[in-house]
Amino acid sequence: MSLADAQGQMIDETAWSGGHGGVSDYFALLKPRVMSLVIFTALVGIVLAPGGIHPVLAATALLCIAIGAGASGALNMWYDADIDSVMSRTRNRPIPAGRVTGSEALAFGLTLSGFSVFVLGLLVNWFAAALLAFTIFFYVVIYTMWLKRSTPQNIVIGGAAGAFPPVVGWAAVTGSVSLESLVLFLIIFMWTPPHFWALALFKSGDYQAANVPMMPVVAGENSTRNQIFVYSLALAPVGVLPWLMGFAGFAYGAVSVALGVAFIIFAYRVWTTREGDAARRASIRLFSFSILYLFLLFAVLLGEHLVTAFVSGLA
Amino acid sequence: MMAEDGIRLTEEQKKRRRARNIAIGLAIGALVILFYLVTIVKLGPGVVNRPL
């Protein structure tokens, strides 16, 4: 078959832009850095859940959650290609750079979404699969298609999508949702706004150019600083909840208090430093620290649980 | 016979397509192994324990 345009004329076949994507481009569509945080938090959900699960099934659940998260990333990049091509941070992503077409990314994302949910349901349990499907739907439809372009609360509500993986991991083991898994959800949910608003503070020009209503663009930088500080004050005690509720030990309690105080100090610096290069540096520092904060909280939660299990196994 | 019709891929596109095909093949192979392992884990010796 030849390709013909609307006027019935032959299209230069070399003009077809598909088929250029290499394996690494498709891997980039999965947002591997976001995926690594998803894998890590989901793993914590799996390990902390009571009852235990066969390691093969745990690995299967983790794989499905990772692929589901990657599929959401691909669908996000498909829908947001117009925005991505404007922003310096995202200009080199496979679609705006022309290495993968939008429809190729869409097909890739939909296929992986279907596979990840189906395999999780078939091999682990359907409740976890339903949660994973909801997470993908929430990230792609509620956040990417709707909230991101319409409200400065986009990442506040959209943050729920990033907070679901430990809940899905927990559900893979127990087949249910519990208060403990909701606390893990709450930690990531409360962490997301100060994390992304710190990024938006030093990338607000990008978001403005792309017409994305991020908080600094809509409400101004000072209002964003106020909200970052308020969220940080709320996040710090939420981070300590696993210890207060008794499903984490003293080591976690001590680390989470110290990290929470440090988070508030970094946020306070962002709040009070409002001019020039120092303000920019403060927001970059908070952004960098926020990643470390979440990683350390979950790492200690995981490490402490594994050590406790090992010691009680010896006894 | 219209051998000239259709999209003609460049050598680079053919190379990338081959790499993608290999990746898809490996993914399908991994799925087969995964289903095999989970079958053994879930059913264990019971995998052959069924009425004939």
We report the CATH number of the domain holding residue A43 as 1.10.357.140
ipTM of the complex: 0.82
Half-sphere exposure of A56 (CA within 13 A, CB side): 13
The pLDDT assigned to A9 comes to 47
Report if residue A10 sits inside a domain: no
A23 touches chain B (CB under 8 A): yes
Same domain, residue pair A293 and A165: no
A57 touches chain B (CB under 8 A): yes
| Cα A291 from chain centre | 11
Same domain, residue pair A135 and A277: no
Same domain, residue pair A173 and A28: yes
The pLDDT assigned to B8 comes to 83
The pLDDT assigned to A275 comes to 85
Quick: pLDDT tens for A51-93: 889 999 999 999 999 999 999 999 999 999 999 999 888 999 9
The pLDDT assigned to A7 comes to 44
| A22/B38 touch (CB, cutoff 8 Å), yes or no | no
User: What HEC string does A294-306 produce?
Assistant: HHHHHHHHHHHHH
| B16/A3 touch (CB, cutoff 8 Å), yes or no | no
Same domain, residue pair A216 and A304: yes
- CB contacts < 8 Å between A and B, how many? 43
Domain count, chain A: 2
Same domain, residue pair A48 and A153: yes
By Cβ distance, the residue of A26, A56, A63 closest to B41 is A56
Same domain, residue pair A146 and A240: no
A123 touches chain B (CB under 8 A): yes
Task: Identify whether the C-beta of residue A184 lies closer than 8 Å to the C-beta of residue A41.
Answer: yes
The pLDDT assigned to A3 comes to 46
| B20/A23 touch (CB, cutoff 8 Å), yes or no | yes
Report if residue A116 sits inside a domain: yes
Min Cα–Cα distance to chain A from B39, Å: 9
Q: How confident is the model at residue B3 (pLDDT cuts 50, 70, 90)?
A: low
Show the domain range for A148: 23-177
Half-sphere exposure of A58 (CA within 13 A, CB side): 17
Same domain, residue pair A193 and A260: yes
| A123/B38 touch (CB, cutoff 8 Å), yes or no | yes
The pLDDT assigned to B52 comes to 65
What would the DSSP string read from start to end of A36-62? Answer: HHHHHHHHHHHHHSTT---HHHHHHHH
What is the number of residues in chain B?
52
Report if residue A3 sits inside a domain: no
Which regions of chain A are under pLDDT 70? Answer: 1-16
CB < 8 Å to A14, chain B: 8, 10
Report if residue A6 sits inside a domain: no
Report if residue A9 sits inside a domain: no
* Among A177, A193, A210, residue at a domain's last position: A177
Same domain, residue pair A172 and A58: yes
| B16/A119 touch (CB, cutoff 8 Å), yes or no | no
Min Cα–Cα distance to chain A from B49, Å: 20
Report if residue A14 sits inside a domain: no
Task: Identify whether the C-beta of residue A81 lies closer than 8 Å to the C-beta of residue A96.
Answer: yes
What would the DSSP string read from start to end of chain A? Answer: ---B-TTSPBP-GGG---S---HHHHHHHT-HHHHHHHHHHHHHHHHHSTT---HHHHHHHHHHHHHHHHHHHHHHHHHTHHHHTTSTTTTTSTTTTTSS-HHHHHHHHHHHHHHHHHHHHHHT-HHHHHHHHHHHHIIIIIIIIIITTT-TTHHHHHHHHHH-HHHHHHHHHHSS--HHHHHHHHHHHHHHHHHHHHHHHHSHHHHHHTT---HHHHT-HHHHHHHHHHHHHHHHHHHHHHHHTTSS-HHHHHHHHHHHHHHHHHHHHHHH--SHHHHHHHHHHHHHHHHHHHHHHHHHHHHHHHHHHHHHHH-
* Among A177, A212, A240, residue at a domain's last position: A177
| B8/A13 touch (CB, cutoff 8 Å), yes or no | yes
* Among A158, A177, A196, residue at a domain's last position: A177
Same domain, residue pair A187 and A157: no
Report if residue A91 sits inside a domain: yes
The region that residue A301 occupies, defined by phi over 0 for left and psi between -120 and 50 for alpha, beta otherwise, is: alpha
| B5/A2 touch (CB, cutoff 8 Å), yes or no | yes
Report if residue A82 sits inside a domain: yes
Same domain, residue pair A200 and A165: no
| A123/B34 touch (CB, cutoff 8 Å), yes or no | yes
A121 touches chain B (CB under 8 A): no
In A157-244, DSSP assigns E strands to none
CB < 8 Å to A60, chain B: 34, 38
Same domain, residue pair A219 and A129: no
Min Cα–Cα distance to chain A from B22, Å: 9
The pLDDT assigned to B4 comes to 60
Same domain, residue pair A52 and A92: yes
Quick: pLDDT tens for A152-176: 999 899 889 999 999 999 999 999 9
CB < 8 Å to B32, chain A: none
Min Cα–Cα distance to chain B from A83, Å: 27
